[in-house]
Amino acid sequence: MKPEALLHPMPAGLYCPVGDFYIDPVRPVSRALVTHGHSDHARAGHGHVLATRQTLEIMALRYGVDFAGSTQAAGWGEVIDVSGVSVSFHPAGHVLGSAQIAIEKDGLRIVASGDYKRGVDPTCDAFEPVACDVFITEATFGLPVFHHPDPKVETQKLLTSLRQFPERTHLVGAYSLGKAQRVIRLIRDCGYDGPIFIHGSLAKLCDYYVSEGIALGDLRPATLEKKDPSAFHGAVVVGPPSAFQDRWARRFNEPLISFASGWMMVRQRAKQGGVELPLVISDHCDWPELLETIREVSPQEVWVTHGREEALVRWCELQGLPARPLHLVGYEDEGD
């Protein structure tokens, strides 16, 4: 069987005609396999969703319990038969519950890795390389210029700034699923044990992470008492980046805007967003990690999806490894 006969791109996403299912479909389908809970990969309205328990629970938190007609939870490494195709889920190291999906038929195995990273992250299971014939990789930071620094060194910049500007409220922008909890955990691991104030939109997911055994320390709602503008002097407030563009952020005294994202490597992006303290903390692979992973997985062929596909395809070809871009649309890096 040719790999394309087992899995190929369609407008709704990667489609497996043999098993009649899609992986991370961007529009409602009858049967979806979902790698992780970010909104560009996990959408509401499918007939049936197969995903890890944590991804299903995260989808229920975000979309309501009736987000799909029916659901099935896959345990790590458990082999599930879907219309004659063997399907299994393996940790991707991206956010809590995030998985690579391996599909196998007649000895041909394709691994769709979804979004993934290789760096240490105590808020989710670490990426596990899975041997396969075709490895499908993202390329969000698929250019040689992208090298992510040590996230603890980045986090220390925030703590240094807190000491330098003890009066200012430090507003840390972080996407609500994964990045926010990881940043909070990094702040704890760097030795800060004071209260961390969170925007209301983060509460449910932070509670969920805590219920899954990820300690986040003293979290409090960032609700401002009108009569006390000094309430958040020198405090750390974590919220989604979108919240910092609206009135919510302006209520704080002398706010110092920080943003935790892999894109903060690009100075121009930080400047445009008015970010005073950029923190380069990413939940995706940087360029060396992409190459390291492809070498380690050692597939016969690489398919590259969402991101800067060309450079990675070219690198594979220079290694004598067949590669092609999939040109999938609809993935917007919610959790970069």
Q: By the criterion CB under 5 A, which residues form the site for Zn ion?
A: 38, 115, 335
CB of 113 to Zn ion, least distance (A): 11
C-alpha to C-alpha distance for 166 and 257, rounded to whole angstroms: 14
CB of 57 to Zn ion, least distance (A): 16
CB of 335 to Zn ion, least distance (A): 4
CB of 49 to Zn ion, least distance (A): 16
Burial pattern 85-113, b for ≥16 Cβ within 10 A else e, equals bebbbbbbbbbbbbbbbbbbbeebbbbbb
Closer by beta carbon to Zn ion, 25 or else 335: 335
Closer by beta carbon to Zn ion, 142 or else 335: 335
Give Cα 124 distance to the centre of its chain.
Answer: 11
Residue type (1 letter), 162: L
Reduced 3-state DSSP string for the chain: CCHHHHCEEECCEEEECCCCEEECCCCCCCEEECCCCCCCCCCCCEEEEEECHHHHHHHHHHHCCCCEEEEEECCECCCEEECCEEEEEEECCCCCCCEEEEEEECCEEEEECCCCCCCCCCCCCCCCCCCCCEEEEEECCCCCCCCCCCHHHHHHHHHHHHHHCCCCCEEEECCCCCHHHHHHHHHHHCCCCCCEEECHHHHHHHHHHHHCCCCCCCEEECCCCCCCHHHHCCCEEEECHHHHHCHHHHCCCCCEEEEECHHHHCHHHHHHCCCCEEECCCCCCCHHHHHHHHHHHCCCEEEEEEECHHHHHHHHHHCCCCEEECCCCCCCCCCC
CB of 178 to Zn ion, least distance (A): 7
Closer by beta carbon to Zn ion, 130 or else 285: 285
CB of 334 to Zn ion, least distance (A): 6
Closer by beta carbon to Zn ion, 115 or else 289: 115
Closer by beta carbon to Zn ion, 115 or else 125: 115
Closer by beta carbon to Zn ion, 170 or else 306: 306
CB of 53 to Zn ion, least distance (A): 18
CB of 32 to Zn ion, least distance (A): 16
Closer by beta carbon to Zn ion, 38 or else 105: 38
Closer by beta carbon to Zn ion, 232 or else 263: 263
